[in-house]
Amino acid sequence: MDLTTVLVPLVALAASLLTFISGFGLGTLLLPVFALLFPVEVAIVLTAVVHLLNNLFKLGLLWQRIHWPTVWRFGVPGIVGAIVGARLMVSLGERAPLYAGLWHPVDPLDLAIAALMLVFGMMELSKTLNSLALPPQWMVPGGLLSGFFGGLSGHQGALRSLFLLRSGLDKDAFIATGVAIACLVDLTRIPSYANATTVGTAVEQWPLLVATTLAAFAGAWWGRKLIPKVTLRSVQLTVGVLIVSIALLLAAGVI
């Protein structure tokens, strides 16, 4: 059995469990793993497909707790941001490499994703940044910003949490509402990514996508049971170090 077929689903299971509890984690962890195996633009698409299917599964578990006024206030601007971010991702992926890199050329999309992974990895590592929360009046621009980065790279959960933590929602409503918003962004960005290369690779890798998605479902189901019991600091540190390391390798042209 190919090691990839085992490793990626295991990461998906762990990441899905984390994102169910914290509001972020699945795309943050899956994107670097897929980026080790595929070109960045393909890694973003594969991550987005698993992310959407997992969010739809979680929506089935939590739909009764969704706070719809927050979904419309945050999620509709998020759709607009996702369209802009996804178009920028496609545009960056079509441009010529910027420099040679250690093992292969680094193009603008590689560098942009590496920079975003570095920023969001540092957010995981920093206790101060992790505890930031903005007041509700920032919700509309927060939706635009979160949707934009969701469309560009898939990094949307950490920013979404930053803007929703002070929305007054209880834990279940916070998670369910975040999942509904994430679905809107995913449904917006995935069609914008479609081209012959990304669609062809996604079809070719369907066994890996199925295994990864089922593992993510299992993580979501398990995470639903653990919501009241888990503390996240050690996990955030581990995730942060991993993401920062892969970001540096990507910027250096190693992966």
Tens digits of residue pLDDT in 193-211: 877 567 777 778 888 888 8
Residue type, 142: G
Q: What is the pLDDT of residues 69-84, one digit of tens each?
A: 999 999 999 999 999 9
**Nearest one of 27, 19, 28, 10 to 62, comparing CA atoms:** 19
Choose between 115 and 236: higher pLDDT. Answer: 115
pLDDT over 50 (residue 23)? no
Tokens describing residue 145: 């910003």
* Residue 99, strand partner residues: 106
Task: State the pTM of this model.
Answer: 0.81
Give me the phi and psi of 67, to 5 degrees please.
-100, 95
